[in-house]
Amino acid sequence: MSEENSEENDTEENDTEADKIAVPASVQRSVFSWRDLLSESAAALTAKPTRTLLTALGTILGVAALVTTIGLAKTAGNQIVSRFDELEATRVLVRPVDRQQGQNNVEVSVIPFDADDRLTRLNGVVAAGTKSDVPIEGLARSVPVVDPLGQNEFQIPVIAASPGLFPAVRATLETGRVFDIGHDERADNVAVLGPGAARRLNVSRVDNSPAIFVGTETFAIIGILADVEREPDLLNAIIIPNGHARERLGLGAPAEVHIETEIGAAELIGSQAALALAPDNPELLRVSVPPSPRGVRTSVESDVNALFLILGAVSLLVGAIGIANVTLVSVLERTGEIGLRRALGATRSHIASQFLFESAALGALAGLLGSSLGILTIVAVSATRQWTPVLDPWLPVAAPPLGALIGLLAGTYPAWKAAATEPITALRGGT
Amino acid sequence: MTVPVVRLANVSRVFEGSPPVVALNEANLEINQGDYLAIVGPSGSGKSTLLHLLGLLDRASSGVYYLDGIDTADLSERDRAGLRAHRIGFVFQSFHLLGHRTAVENVMLADVYRRDGQRRRRERAVASLERVGLGHRIDAFPTTLSGGERQRVAVARALTGEPSLLLADEPTGNLDSVTSEQILDLFDHLHQGGLTVAVITHDLDVSERAERHVRIQDGQLTQPIESAAARGSSGGGPGGGRSVVPR
């Protein structure tokens, strides 16, 4: 029965100049204005709002999944990166290379005691300080009184530090002060306690010049730390100046150097630190710099994205099939309307454009709703995780056009089907 | 002398197939301005084919069809659609109203595809509804209208563009006899106002109202010389069969 009107197809779009001349002046062509295209599509979409919403549901969920995935990956990635930014991205650690690999057994440490000075001269270093474990015989105690009821002698690590270590690990003081270059140079027997060590040694104030005893050594406590942001082993340690450790406890050379750099300077300092500390053999020093933030971000994003983008794409595909399916059904349902429109003067392309526009508008609507839903999800997840939601501005902007594109693709076959509907059979059906 | 609204000259419509079906054979027909014509025939006689040809929904296999003096054979689909929009008003057996639109919105739909239908659409639609006696129900939805009222809305829709030809396909087929009468009265009234009406039907009560009659049987179009003459005769065609007008 398709041959009934097959001749009509041939001439449908033959709007050549020759045709126009052949047409008598009195023939007025039919039109379909943009305004009518909009209002006719809007009327069709709002005629059955529940069905319209259900039709769009697959695409809504697909777009929501995509937006959520991309947005959450971005949010999570930024979260990790911002933590790195605060601490890790400004941290450089210098250690000697493993001694076992050295050819001679001579314990020549290449880290000098004036590491603070050498490094703070570099542009980009905020603070630098050395830190070394000091092997010391004996337990630590605060009062020379033997209390049979309580333990008052403890194994507490002793750490030798340069004055610059405190700012380099972002130490904050509970009370008192930290030692300075003077203490260091004079090899004073002073000490700063980490909060854990202070609690165990029952030292809570320094204004009465408390003293502690470690083995045979005596130290005057000049300060108690509240917290450190790096090197948490300092929290439970007795921290003494390098000078004293060198003179009285046989510290040959600092074990490691901690550097706090300005943001973004870590890699630069990393490349310069070894040379600044040991210009003669920088290869004996191992410098650790934080991983590049960009690298972190992309690796996190790609991990999360790969899986969920596939999921989002699949749901978009399902959504598109949903639109195509329901639109096809509605084309069949609206056969009578199509026939009527043809009788009222619509061409095949008018019919096709109406159905195409309807499904594209439906897709755009789904994109809008989906991206709203996705953004809400991002905000909700961020709120429960106490993250800062981060959103690319192009994401909500791109979602409706993406939806429209999906709708357009999904509507192609139904629109073609609608345009191919013969008005004769359509009008016979009768609704 | 005015140009006839419709002039069919040796128009045939053959549906390809094995064997080919000749739905309309060498039909000749002239409908003048102000005519009220009934095309009568049993189902399967080819009257639907004739309706679709007249309504430019189908193309003739051979022969010439002039609508308002325009040769429609060589027109493009767009031009034919334009002619449908501007010169033909359709009335169908099953009304074909859109259920989610009010009466006036249904009538306004006819202006969508019309070049001169872009402005004052509602005004024209209301005027058209008043013309068919539905001025009081312009905002009613089709579901709340009776069958006769729905057909009136459909007639109003066909009238908005001031068509050259009102083409009605079994306009009372879905109506009871009382409302049928009302619709036919409306056609009479419109005809008296100068409208050219062509009604296609198998219902003798419908065809009786028309001034002129043509009969179609097995694809053959035959026209009694004078409708008054046909009134008395039994009008046997090539296939014999039913009389057009009883009594």
DSSP per-residue letters across A54-79 = HHHHHHHHHHHHHHHHHHHHHHHHHH
Is the same domain home to A121 and A260?
A: yes
d(CA A282, CA A286): 9
Interfacial A residues in 3-62 facing B (CB < 8 Å): 3-5, 7-9, 11-15, 19, 22-24, 26-33, 36, 40, 43, 47-48
**Closest CB to A29 among B94, B115, B169:** B115
Evaluate whether A247 touches A206 at the Cβ level (below 8 Å).
Answer: no
Is the same domain home to A327 and A362?
A: yes
Is the same domain home to A260 and A312?
A: no
A326: closest CA of chain B, how far (Å): 18
Q: Which chain B residue shows the shortest CA-CA distance from A30? A: B82
Sort out which chain B residues have CB atoms less than 8 A from A24's CB and list them. Answer: 70
Is the same domain home to A137 and A202?
A: yes
d(CA A333, CA A338): 10
Backbone angles phi, psi at A162, to 5 degrees: -90, 155
Span B16-70, pLDDT tens digits:
888 888 889 999 999 999 999 999 988 888 888 898 899 998 899 999 999 998 9
In Å, how far from its chain's centre is CA B212?
14
Q: Determine whether the interchain pair B58/A340 forms a contact, defined as Cβ–Cβ distance below 8 Å.
A: no
| A238 contacts: CB under 8 Å, gap ≥ 6 | A140, A156, A157, A158, A159, A191, A192, A193, A194, A197, A212, A214, A219
| A150 contacts: CB under 8 Å, gap ≥ 6 | none
Evaluate whether A256 touches A248 at the Cβ level (below 8 Å).
Answer: no
A349: closest CA of chain B, how far (Å): 9
| A149 contacts: CB under 8 Å, gap ≥ 6 | none
pLDDT of residue B2: 75
DSSP per-residue letters across A306-358: HHHHHHHHHHHHHHHHHHHHHHHHHHHHTHHHHHHHHHHT--HHHHHHHHHHH
A359 within some domain: yes
Positive or negative, the CA dihedral A61, A62, A65, A66 is negative
Q: What is the DSSP letter of A211?
A: E
Is the same domain home to A268 and A300?
A: no
- Tell me the CA distances in angstroms from B182 to A430, B38, B177, B185, one per residue in order: 22, 17, 9, 5
pLDDT of residue B245: 42
Evaluate whether A285 touches A111 at the Cβ level (below 8 Å).
Answer: yes
What's at B125, amino acid-wise?
A
A286 within some domain: no
Is the same domain home to A303 and A423?
A: yes
Sort out which chain A residues have CB atoms less than 8 A from B79's CB and list them. Answer: 23, 27, 29
Give the range of the structural domain holding residue A248, as residue numbers without chain letter: 111-277
d(CA A156, CA A201): 10
- B165 or A149: which leads in pLDDT: B165
- The ipTM value here is 0.88
* Structural domain count, chain A: 2
A95 within some domain: no
Q: Determine whether the interchain pair B94/A347 forms a contact, defined as Cβ–Cβ distance below 8 Å.
A: no
pLDDT of residue B73: 87
Q: Which chain B residue shows the shortest CA-CA distance from A49? A: B100
Evaluate whether A324 touches A413 at the Cβ level (below 8 Å).
Answer: yes
A4 within some domain: no
Evaluate whether B88 touches B114 at the Cβ level (below 8 Å).
Answer: no
**Which of B78, B95, B167 should be substituted to probe chain A, the one whose Cβ sees the most A Cβ atoms within 10 Å?**
B78
Ramachandran region of residue A318, left (φ > 0), alpha (ψ -120 to 50) or beta? alpha
At which of A246, A277, A308 does a domain end?
A: A277
**Which of B16, B79, B86 should be substituted to probe chain A, the one whose Cβ sees the most A Cβ atoms within 10 Å?**
B79
A99 within some domain: no
Is the same domain home to A76 and A146?
A: no
Is the same domain home to A356 and A387?
A: yes
B232: closest CA of chain A, how far (Å): 34
A12 within some domain: no
Residue B184: pLDDT above 90? yes
Sort out which chain B residues have CB atoms less than 8 A from A32's CB and list them. Answer: 112-113
A340: closest CA of chain B, how far (Å): 7
- Tell me the CA distances in angstroms from A239 to A130, A138, B178, one per residue in order: 12, 16, 111
B62: closest CA of chain A, how far (Å): 12
Sort out which chain A residues have CB atoms less than 8 A from B74's CB and list them. Answer: 22
A97 within some domain: no
A348: closest CA of chain B, how far (Å): 9
d(CA A200, CA B235): 126
Evaluate whether B107 touches B156 at the Cβ level (below 8 Å).
Answer: yes
What's at A9, amino acid-wise?
N
Span B75-110, pLDDT tens digits:
888 899 999 999 999 999 888 999 889 999 999 999
Query: For the packed helices A49-86 and A293-333, what is the interaxial angle rounded to 10 degrees?
Result: 180
Q: Which chain B residue shows the shortest CA-CA distance from A45? A: B100
B243: closest CA of chain A, how far (Å): 26
**Closest CB to B113 among A7, A9, A31:** A31
Ramachandran region of residue A310, left (φ > 0), alpha (ψ -120 to 50) or beta? alpha
pLDDT of residue A403: 93
Is the same domain home to A211 and A72?
A: no
Sort out which chain A residues have CB atoms less than 8 A from B48's CB and list them. Answer: 424, 428
Sort out which chain B residues have CB atoms less than 8 A from A48's CB and list them. Answer: 100
Is the same domain home to A128 and A225?
A: yes
Is the same domain home to A305 and A271?
A: no
Sort out which chain B residues have CB atoms less than 8 A from A23's CB and list them. Answer: 75-76, 79
pLDDT of residue A145: 58
The structure tokens 């739905």 sit at: B23
One digit per residue, pLDDT tens: chain A, 431 residues?
344 444 444 444 444 444 444 444 478 888 888 889 999 999 888 888 998 999 899 899 889 988 888 888 778 777 666 555 556 778 888 888 865 544 554 455 678 888 888 999 989 899 999 999 888 777 887 765 566 666 777 888 899 999 999 999 999 999 999 999 999 889 888 999 999 988 888 888 888 888 888 888 889 999 999 998 888 889 999 999 998 888 888 888 888 899 998 887 888 888 888 888 888 888 888 888 876 655 555 665 566 667 777 888 888 898 899 889 989 998 998 999 999 999 999 999 999 999 999 999 999 999 999 999 999 999 998 888 878 888 888 988 999 999 999 999 999 999 999 999 888 877 775 44
The structure tokens 């596939």 sit at: A310
Q: What is the DSSP letter of B213?
A: E
**Strand arrangement, sheet containing B21-31:** B21-31, B6-15, B62-67, B70-71
d(CA B221, CA B206): 19
Q: Determine whether the interchain pair A343/B84 forms a contact, defined as Cβ–Cβ distance below 8 Å.
A: yes
pLDDT of residue A86: 59
Q: How many of the other CB atoms lie within 10 Å of CB of A279? A: 10
A94 within some domain: no
**Closest CB to B112 among A4, A14, A36:** A36
pLDDT of residue B236: 38
Q: Which chain B residue shows the shortest CA-CA distance from A12? A: B77
Residues paired with A130 in a beta bridge: A257
Is the same domain home to A238 and A351?
A: no
d(CA B23, CA A64): 56
The structure tokens 């059906």 sit at: A429
Claim: this prediction has a pTM higher than 0.80 = no
pLDDT of residue B235: 38
At which of A243, A277, A311 does a domain end?
A: A277
| B194 contacts: CB under 8 Å, gap ≥ 6 | B33, B34
pLDDT of residue A193: 92
Q: Which of A250, A225, A281 is nearest to A134 (CA)?
A: A250
Residue B185: pLDDT above 60? yes
Tokens of B154: 């459909």
Q: Determine whether the interchain pair A345/B96 forms a contact, defined as Cβ–Cβ distance below 8 Å.
A: no
Q: Determine whether the interchain pair B86/A28 forms a contact, defined as Cβ–Cβ distance below 8 Å.
A: yes
In Å, how far from its chain's centre is CA A46?
40
d(CA B237, CA B231): 15
A77: closest CA of chain B, how far (Å): 50
Domains of chain B: 33-58+74-232 (3.40.50.300)
Residue B212: pLDDT above 50? yes
At which of A225, A251, A277 does a domain end?
A: A277
Residue B247: pLDDT above 50? no
